[in-house]
Amino acid sequence: MNTKLHAVTDTTGRPIRFFMTAGQVSDYTGARALVSSFPAAEWLLGDRGYDADWFREALVEMGIKPCIPGRKSREKPIKYDKRRYKRRNRIEIMFGRLKDWRRVATRYDRCPKVFLSAIALAATVIFWL
């Protein structure tokens, strides 16, 4: 079983929201599920998997500036703030810290609901307590 975890974090890299999809599902599905619940923010940093015109337009309508590099297959390159994009490492560090929990890293739980609960518990203890 393969899953993909989508997360929304604050500026310091603490997780705020999680959404899990099947591993073979596009990142657009996670973006569509989370976009309506984004907190007020000035910028959104995302990887190339979230590069979609509809997603960028939704962010602009919410008053959020997207900092997402364009996919390599795009005909017209997308401009983004490369210095700001380097701060996305905080998100990767958050995922790495979650995997410090053996239960999360080795995926003891086969049921996606139970696995998401384990991730939420680990995130609460690591980042919020």
pLDDT at 27: 86
Which runs of E-coded beta strand occur in the chain?
3-9, 15-22, 43-45, 65-67
pLDDT at 56: 92
Residues 123 and 15 sit within 8 Å (Cβ to Cβ): yes
pLDDT at 73: 87
Q: Which of 1, 54, 9 is nearest to 27 (CA)?
A: 54
Which runs of E-coded beta strand occur in 35-109?
43-45, 65-67
Residues 46 and 63 sit within 8 Å (Cβ to Cβ): no
Instruction: Tell me which residues of the chain have a pLDDT lower than 50.
Output: none
pLDDT at 1: 62
d(Cα 126, Cα 85) in Å, to the nearest integer?
Answer: 24
pLDDT at 116: 93
Multiple choice CATH, 3-128, 3.30.420.10, 3.40.50.720, 3.40.120.10, 2.70.70.10: 3.30.420.10
Residues 66 and 44 sit within 8 Å (Cβ to Cβ): yes
Local structure of 30: helix, strand or coil:
helix
